[in-house]
A = this chain, B = another copy of it.
């Protein structure tokens, strides 16, 4: 376990740098990240490189025994490049160049830009290749899927399409282009979907464009990665992932990189409503699942957030230390705080670091110091990993499809995943979040909500998993589409109907309103009452459905719950189907938090998975193992102190490690 900070030597004079290195050494900081925005200082004029200021920082950190991650500075080309080579500017959905002045406005496909990028990367990697303290390279910064519509990208999209489809006739058929006379008669007509509201466009085109945009960013990462490895074959290469509206497929993006990094900004204010989800554990498990191995936090919350909007409140006492500890518990091997000190200029000047503008160590600095001590104390867990028996499947195609066609008011793909992740987390059962294309060996339970876009390989794998004794949970909006985002002409859940043993006869899209759900299954009902008693403190919660209601007709399945209102009162809502050696559950609506938690208990119970029936809500239990040794991490992610069954009491945001 290593602790670090993100640092910008180019922003400060030498005095400050010397003081900072000294303070970091004193605290026991292991690692710093530098240079991801420094291109204008590294190449102040075309072809004129200047590394001395970075050499000085590398030297000082090295002398202090602090390791270094260096970055390719390609996120922010210098102003001279935009001025002299305007063709490198990204275009928006309307085909016009975007206004520059912030970051990230380069077109990743532009040959001119790539040429400059290649040169600076070659120079930098060659220059620092032999520095013993430079331990990894970060590619660019917080990459998004490439939705640029510049002339070059328009051509790139057409080429992508020509590679995927052999003729316009094939596209017309795959897309159902005949609707509204959208048929192409020539490849010249194939263009990225234009401006305005994307949901007015053919959903097959918009999904393919999202796939292209992801592939385009993956290609850009590969381009940089190859240059780095050519010069420094043994160094680790990563990029810092974040979760934005516009994500590339991160399984693809990290395929050829060494480890996953993530920029982690957990909430500084927690919701008061118990039914509202907020745990950041979900994101940590998602990151660990990308390569199914430990990961880094490349940026971690250090103070109030700001810049793009009014500032947030300052993180509450315990948050800085606790959220970092939570990351370690979920498989982080390093946590770097963003940022060591708060910037005094630029648009991000109110994104607060460990040190405030004042440069006077304060409350958060002391908490960071405390975190550093804590990390040293648990150095021994280095090399340990997280092993779970429940898998939750994520698919970028599913997420794209849900975003492109917003099906029901308040219904989001990620929300479905979070509800299921939360349910098992709430009973102390660890969850791996993995790509839907991954193998399922070793899992007792697989959760696969909203399998909207179907792919034969995934479908077959799931049948096989259940046939061989697995327990699979599917939900509403599964089996809706073929891989081109066209609806399948069969009773929902179409390809999964046999597996779950139910058919959807009709659906009612209820959005933000709710439906009463009656549990008809004894074991689940008992688990629900127990949950209410032990975890909800007897609060009078009920089971509800929202967003969407599938009206089910069972073929081979048993009914676990039914609807309690409307013309479909008494119709099955949740079912269970014994299929060969396994069991397939189907949830035809979006259940609320307490309902899912109790369902998780029932499922865990059935397959003998150990769980905590009385874990206080908001307290998380995680295990890391190595060589037969186990560390149990217990984290109180709430604003109140919590007592657990071992008798121990945790303060807000406190992490305890039990051996």
- Give A contacts to B, CB under 8 Å: 8, 10-11, 37-41, 44-45, 73, 76-80, 82-83, 94, 98-103, 175-186, 188-189, 193-197, 199-205, 304, 306-314, 316-317, 342-350, 356-360, 362-364, 405-409, 411, 480, 486-492, 504-511, 567
The chain B residue with its CB closest to the CB of A360 is B491
Contact status A407-B350, CB under 8 Å:
yes
Q: State the CA gap A102–B188 with chains docked (Å).
A: 18
Q: State the CA gap A352–B150 with chains docked (Å).
A: 37
Q: A179-B345, A181-B76, A195-B99 are in contact. Are A189 and B83 (CB under 8 A)?
A: yes
Contact status B348-A41, CB under 8 Å:
no
Contact status A345-B202, CB under 8 Å:
yes
Contact status A509-B304, CB under 8 Å:
yes
Instruction: For the complex formed, measure the closest distance between the CB of A12 and the CB atoms of chain B, giving whole angstroms.
Output: 9
Contact status A487-B41, CB under 8 Å:
no
Which of chain B's residues have a CB closer than 8 A to the CB of A204? Answer: 345
What are 14 sample pairs from A and B whose C-beta atoms fall under 8 A apart?
A: A41-B181, A44-B185, A80-B185, A98-B196, A101-B205, A176-B346, A179-B343, A180-B347, A203-B345, A204-B345, A310-B406, A344-B487, A357-B492, A360-B491
Q: A186-B80, A194-B101, A310-B509 are in contact. Are A37 and B200 (CB under 8 A)?
A: no
Contact status B194-A99, CB under 8 Å:
yes
Which of chain B's residues have a CB closer than 8 A to the CB of A38? Answer: 178, 181
Q: State the CA gap A473–B546 with chains docked (Å).
A: 47
The chain B residue with its CB closest to the CB of A314 is B508
Contact status A314-B507, CB under 8 Å:
yes
Instruction: For the complex formed, measure the closest distance between the CB of A340 and the CB atoms of chain B, giving whole angstroms.
Output: 14
Q: A508-B313, A511-B310 are in contact. Are A489 and B358 (CB under 8 A)?
A: yes
Which of chain B's residues have a CB closer than 8 A to the CB of A492? Answer: 357-358
- Specify which of B184, B310, B316, B357 is in contact with A408 (CB 8 Å cutoff): B310
- Specify which of B73, B79, B314, B317 is in contact with A189 (CB 8 Å cutoff): B79
Q: A310-B509, A314-B508 are in contact. Are A79 and B183 (CB under 8 A)?
A: yes
- Specify which of B407, B489, B506 is in contact with A364 (CB 8 Å cutoff): B506
Contact status A183-B41, CB under 8 Å:
yes
Instruction: For the complex formed, measure the closest distance between the CB of A425 and the CB atoms of chain B, giving whole angstroms.
Output: 27
Q: State the CA gap A347–B405 with chains docked (Å).
A: 9
The chain B residue with its CB closest to the CB of A484 is B345
Q: State the CA gap A189–B490 with chains docked (Å).
A: 60
Q: State the CA gap A579–B576 with chains docked (Å).
A: 77
Which of chain B's residues have a CB closer than 8 A to the CB of A183? Answer: 40-41, 44, 78-79
The chain B residue with its CB closest to the CB of A510 is B313
- Specify which of B184, B348, B359, B487 is in contact with A349 (CB 8 Å cutoff): B487
Q: A11-B178, A203-B347, A363-B506 provided; 17 other pairs, C-beta below 8 A?
A: A39-B181, A40-B181, A76-B181, A77-B181, A82-B189, A101-B194, A101-B201, A103-B180, A103-B181, A175-B345, A179-B347, A180-B346, A202-B347, A310-B406, A310-B511, A349-B486, A357-B480
Q: State the CA gap A194–B196 with chains docked (Å).
A: 19
The chain B residue with its CB closest to the CB of A406 is B310
Contact status A489-B193, CB under 8 Å:
no
Q: A11-B176, A311-B408 are in contact. Are A186 and B83 (CB under 8 A)?
A: yes
Which 6 pairs of residues, A with B, have the shortest CB-CB distance? A176-B345, A179-B346, A99-B194, A40-B181, A76-B181, A344-B487
Instruction: For the complex formed, measure the closest distance between the CB of A142 and the CB atoms of chain B, giving whole angstroms.
Output: 12
Contact status A313-B509, CB under 8 Å:
yes
Q: A194-B100, A345-B202 are in contact. Are A506 and B181 (CB under 8 A)?
A: no
The chain B residue with its CB closest to the CB of A99 is B194
Which of chain B's residues have a CB closer than 8 A to the CB of A44? Answer: 183, 185
Q: State the CA gap A11–B39 with chains docked (Å).
A: 54
Q: State the CA gap A177–B358 with chains docked (Å).
A: 20
The chain B residue with its CB closest to the CB of A504 is B358
